[in-house]
Structure 1
Amino acid sequence: MTERSAAVTTRGLIKRYGSHTALHGIDLDIPRGRVFGMIGPNGAGKTTTMRLLLDIIRPSGGQLQVLGEDPRTGGSSLRRRVGYLPGELHLQARVRGRELFAHYAEISGTVRAGTVESLADRLGLDLSRPVRSLSKGNKQKVGLIQAFMHEPELLVLDEPTSGLDPLVQQEFHAMLREAKDKGQTVFLSSHVLSEVQQTADDIAILRSGRIVKLSTVGALRESAVRHVHVVVAEADFAAARSALIAVPGIGELAETGDDGATRALQTTINSHVDAFVKAIARFDLVDLTIEEPDLEETVLGFYGTDETATDGER
């Protein structure tokens, strides 16, 4: 992929805060017109990555380009091409929503007539209310509208559904699909896998400032953990067990039932099911249950158990 075709490119991106290294050499290529999700627990470095792309903070090492430009020199012209929703949105303005968006429009650039009103209607935001009086969820809607309203080439959204009720989350997902259809690029972060898998084309799993997995959502789903329950005839049990042990990606086999005529096994598989099905199909199969892929379980395996949140960093 050329730098021109990528919306975001980073090479060896490093960020240190004193003796603490928040990012350890991040390499990213986010194609234009795609939805890219970065997932990881609090403290993994998601917010730090986004702030570097927006020149809110400066890298300690490495290279980065956003929409073909270095954010450190791109200035206001580059910032107008980007829509940003921070993970911690602080709105204490005394003005009403409509007045605040008029102010944002002066900064962001051209906003088509009726766009703010349309977005507010979709998200259920009352533009006549003073911003400082809004609930957390309604303030989040303000943040989303200001990010989307000028139809930027790149949307950078940090934990975008925080505080939103499920119906509004579904509307937000529709907005993402429409943005992609118009050729916009979306870079969103979350610690909730279900949010990313509903909307993203590509995914990066971040752990302790390192990317531990880059994948499409489809490929991740194919390799995800599936729980399997098999019931075979008693006469086939030993041979079936031996055949399944040899299947790539098979987990520990546990016997879960024996009625004299049949015996049951329970296990997991984290690879394509084709080899599993071919292995078990040779026997007298009484019952077979293969659950939907458990992406949550798969991703948690990449997280490890030593993650701790760091104040001011996600």
Structure 2
Amino acid sequence: MDTTTDAAVTTRGLVKRYGANTALHGIDLDIPRGSVFGMIGPNGAGKTTTMRLLLDILRPSAGELRVLGETPRLGGAALRRRIGYLPGELHLATRVKGRELLAHYAEISGPVRPGAVDALADRLGVDLGRPVRSLSKGNKQKIGLIQAFMHEPELLVLDEPTSGLDPLVQQEFHAMLHEAKANGQTVFLSSHVLSEVQQTAHEIAILKQGRIVERSTVAALREDAVRHVRLVVAEADAAAARATLDALPGVSGVAPAGDGPGTVAFSATLDAHVDAFVKAVARLDVVDLTVEEPDLEEMVLAYYGTDLTADADAGDDAEGTTRKGARR
């Protein structure tokens, strides 16, 4: 397998089978060092399986992979110390305090800068002096994030990292990701919520039933995504506005959207032809115009159609066979 020094993660034809079920069907990935890469898909699409293969928690049925230039199976504990991992299903020892638990993880992960743990705890707002069993789900998730970040690993592998976090803490987490990237660290995170990934990732892969169905930069997705528009014109221009919208390329779903004193409103959807749209409606007597932010969620859901639930159920059956036995 050809690899380059710029790749933190490289996979070729990665396959994982659980008996008769195939969770991954030939995944090819190249994640550059120093980047934030997001993997999107419904629960059970194969995101967790992919991450566990990278950490040698699972072994591939076929294909090849390199993580930080090494084969996970041969890299062993030394390679894993260069990685920070947050599992999607976080299980913590509950009879100890948060600080004691993190001290234990530090012995496994390697050197942690003095003060790094306390600084992360302050940022995330978690009391490390409390027993883990007394913490809420969100605070346990914060402990998990601290153990992943605290040794400043070359690669962060984060499976559904904001699960249970309130919006303010999510913002702080996003800031931590930007700082990690600025420091040259690589981040590979998964989510079934696109809005979470698009705030931080430069590039994403969309996973469906164990296959990558789309790989693109977030910027390119935005350019291609559908926008919802609402156009309000003077009543005298209503017929001309309707004719203009119906004739424009990339405009669909034109429909009346109410009226007011001397005005008529239309709603529609618009693809990437924004420039042509703006120039065309500029010739009308426009009272108001609203062009919403590109709805990337709709675009991603279009890849799944009516199979979204089926995808999740099929993947859950396959991935679930390993969850109890997975090691951190």
- TM-score, scaled relative to structure 2: 0.88
1:213 is matched with 214
Q: What amino acid is aligned across from residue 114 of structure 2 in structure 1?
A: A
Q: Is the 8 A contact 1:38 1:189 kept in 2?
A: yes
Q: Is the 8 A contact 1:37 1:190 kept in 2?
A: yes
Cα offsets for 1:100-147 (capped at 9, x unmatched): 222211111111111111111221222222223322112111111110
1:136 is matched with 137
More displaced 10-residue stretch of structure 1: 246-255 or 101-110? 246-255
Determine helix, strand or coil for the equivalent of 1:94. Answer: coil
1:313–1:251: structure 2 CA closer, same or farther, 3 Å change rule?
Answer: farther
1:304 is matched with 305
2:122 is matched with 121
Q: What amino acid is aligned across from residue 50 of structure 1 in structure 2?
A: M
Cα offsets for 1:197-244 (capped at 9, x unmatched): 221111111111121221112222222221112244667655554543
1:199 is matched with 200
1:190 is matched with 191
CA distance in 1, matches of 2:121, 2:225: 38
Determine helix, strand or coil for the equivalent of 2:319. Answer: coil
CA RMSD of aligned residues (A): 2.3
Q: Is the 8 A contact 1:13 1:61 kept in 2?
A: yes
Q: Which blocks of at least 5 consecutive residues in structure 2 are unaligned? A: 321-328
2:76 is matched with 75
Q: CA deviation at 1:86?
A: 0.2
2:319 is matched with 313
1:34–1:237: structure 2 CA closer, same or farther, 3 Å change rule?
Answer: same
More displaced 10-residue stretch of structure 1: 279-288 or 235-244? 235-244
Q: CA deviation at 1:82?
A: 0.5
Q: CA deviation at 1:255?
A: 3.0
Runs of 4+ displaced beyond 6 Å: 258-261
Q: What amino acid is aligned across from residue 173 of structure 1 in structure 2?
A: H
More displaced 10-residue stretch of structure 1: 149-158 or 294-303? 294-303
Q: Is the 8 A contact 1:248 1:271 kept in 2?
A: no
Pairing 1:91-170 to 2, within 5 Å after superposition: 91-170=92-171
CA distance in 2, matches of 1:131, 1:259: 58
- TM-score, scaled relative to structure 1: 0.91
1:120–1:264: structure 2 CA closer, same or farther, 3 Å change rule?
Answer: closer
Cα offsets for 1:8-63 (capped at 9, x unmatched): 11122111111111112211111111111111111111111111111111112222
Q: CA deviation at 1:264?
A: 3.6
Q: What amino acid is aligned across from residue 265 of structure 1 in structure 2?
A: F
Q: Is the 8 A contact 1:87 1:160 kept in 2?
A: yes
1:100–1:257: structure 2 CA closer, same or farther, 3 Å change rule?
Answer: closer
Determine helix, strand or coil for the equivalent of 1:37. Answer: strand
CA distance in 2, matches of 1:103, 1:284: 68
Q: Does residue 1:24 correspond to 2:25, yes or no?
A: yes
Taking every aligned residue pair, what percent have the same amino acid on both sides?
76
CA distance in 2, matches of 1:311, 1:92: 27
